[in-house]
Chains A and B, each alone.
Chain A
Amino acid sequence: MKRLLRAAAVLAALSLFLGLSLGLGSCSKKGDEPKKLYIFNWTYYTPDSVIAKFEKEYNCKVVYDSFDSNETMFAKLKAGGSNYDIVFPSADYVSIMINQKMLAPIDRTKLANFRNIDPLVLARSKDYDPDNKFSVPYYMGAAGVAVNKTKVKKYERSWSIFSRKDLKEKMTMLDDMREVMGDALAFQGKSVNSVSDADVKAAEELVNKTWKPNLLKFDAEAFAKGFAAGEFWVAQGYAESIFAEYDAAKRADVDFFIPKEGGPLYIDSMVILKNSKSQDLALKFIDFIHRPEIYAEFCDAFGFPATANVPARALKKGDMWYKAEDLAKCELKLDLGADLEKYNAAWQEIKVGK
């Protein structure tokens, strides 16, 4: 009995203590610490080694928090989320954040390495941020198709692979509306940003009637794991996920390609928030990323081609799954505004309908 009481007393004391220490902890300790840079980025999008080098060189502390989708990132910032300095939104969200006046203009005179950025990428970025006033491209890429060559001997490097009935229930596509609809639109020779009712309807038909019956599922989370385990033979998805899951020794078994018809393209950019307190340090970080050797290190960590940085291409050591040139036919996903509703309706039919 006494033991019980003691346990209860300890419990009560513990909760009080923790409550208090949390309360005090968040109020105290300010001031004389090294400068801090708050980064809000996609999960694992900048290697730890790069961050460590930056911290060392500029004698500061980088706090790296991550998000898993543009929408949750935006929701958090919009609700007064937090005092981040640098955020890594995708193209469509850069324009949204510019419109919502959330971003600080970027002083390009402080970015010596801006000249390293591929002019082709800069040209594409005009669609969402003319003159790069608010954003600096970080990485340009596209989802593609991974094929397990030991299981699938003959195939065409085209989106039509998802129409193949002989691969029924051995294939997956991303659980991502813009990606899958974009693939279907590109396959039918339409723009991935098309807002014509007929185009969207035709794309929906194609996915729902022809592709979906052959798919095992729509999956944006575990497709790479399933692919690496031999569960799926054909998977639409991101190269870096497959790269991370697949055994290095067996990589020759995998063909990763961007289909010949093209598809949706994405550019993730670095932006500085308007209320950032360390804008100088933030600029230094952005400039640091585009040093050729640093950019090459980042790309090597994920099996990326150095799409945004030209000199880095010569410095890359690791292998990569696709080349910057493969993206030529791809088209940047843009913000569709109110017309996104058409895609939502189509996607709901695909996900829920029979």
Chain B
Amino acid sequence: MKKLRLHGAYRAVRATLKGIRPLPPRISGSGPPATGRKGHAKRRRGIAVSDFVYWAVIAFLFAPLVVLFAYSFNSSKSGSWTGFSFMWYERLFLGSGLLWNAFGNSAIIALGSASAATLLGSLAAVGTSRYSFWYRPYVKSMSFIPMILPEIIVGVSLLVFFAGVGLKLGLLTVWIAHTTFNIPFVYLLVSARLEEFDPSIIEAARDLGATEVQTLLRIILPITMPGIASGFLTAVTLSLEDFVITFFVAGPGSTTLPLFIYSAIRFGVSPVINALSAVMVAGTVLLIYPARNFLKAYAAH
């Protein structure tokens, strides 16, 4: 099997390396070809460069959060530092019922819509990547257009639609809307992963007598897991952020966190929001830290 793979690799690579003077192949003696994460020295240097970029990016991504974190301990409301204080945390935990309500709604909607979109989008991606059928082009383009349209247009069109079919605005309509705009992201992410996928493995599984469901769960699902995980995370993130579409499809009492924050912003970003952000990020990191062994196992599958 390995030989076959290498052979294929060489053919493919040689075809792509037009114009590069080939050296005599030296398969044997150059060590096991990239079986583990510890390749030879040259590669390790390469990884170090990309790792450096990665950590620089993490620093970049977290920079505003550090600012937020600092402000959440500021005893005054505005930009200048006036002293250390826990007052915003106190207010967050003791006097912000509406905020927690909104947070709860957001969490339900984000997890619910991301799950539904992940389910629908991943299945469709598997379907369109492996099979050809009459409405495949429709699925492909339909999974695209929601991304292109301005949010305000999507929001209003959904509002008109819900009003037309007589669906009462509330958490349900928000969930539907979020699922709708999340689907394309999941679909494209899982599709991208599947496109790099070697179909012969499926053939092999089928030849060995696996049923369709077995193939799906045992072969395709694990292989596409990074794409599915990326899709799910993207969906959660998009859902937690959305303001415009949510504004139009939310009914009385289904205020989400972004709606709440927008409503607060006219009177300045309250440091309570900074405190909440700090708690959310710290909470997530604390939650995944104990789970790191599980995550490692997942990553190393």
Contact = CB atoms under 8 A, between A and B. Distances in A.
Contacts of B294: 3
Nearest to B164: A80
B139 interface: no
B156 A79 contact: yes
Interface in B59-108: 76-80, 82, 98, 108
A1 B252 contact: no
A44 interface: yes
B252 A83 contact: yes
Given A82-B252, A225-B268, A225-B269, A244 B77 contact: yes
Contacts, number: 136
A246 B262 CA distance: 19
Contacts of B269: 225
Interface in A33-78: 36, 38, 42-44, 48, 63, 65-68, 72, 75-76
A328 interface: no
Nearest to A301: B267
Contacts of A130: none
A81 B159 contact: yes
B171 A4 contact: no
SS class, residues of chain B in contact with chain A:
helix
Interface in B25-82: 76-80, 82
Contacts of A230: 79
B171 A8 contact: no
Interface string A237-265: 00011001111010000000000000000
SS class, residues of chain A in contact with chain B:
helix
A64 B263 CA distance: 11
B147 interface: no
B205 interface: no
A224 interface: yes
Nearest to A7: B298
Interface of A: 1, 3-5, 7-8, 11-12, 14-15, 18-19, 22-23, 25-26, 36, 38, 42-44, 48, 63, 65-68, 72, 75-76, 79-84, 221, 224-225, 228-230, 240-241, 244-247, 249, 302
Interface of B: 76-80, 82, 98, 108, 111-112, 115-116, 118-119, 156, 159-160, 163-164, 168-172, 175, 217-218, 221-222, 225, 228, 232, 247-248, 250-253, 255, 259, 262-269, 294, 297-298, 301
17 contacts: A4-B222, A7-B298, A25-B172, A38-B252, A68-B263, A72-B248, A79-B160, A81-B169, A82-B252, A221-B265, A225-B268, A225-B269, A229-B80, A244-B77, A244-B268, A247-B76, A302-B267
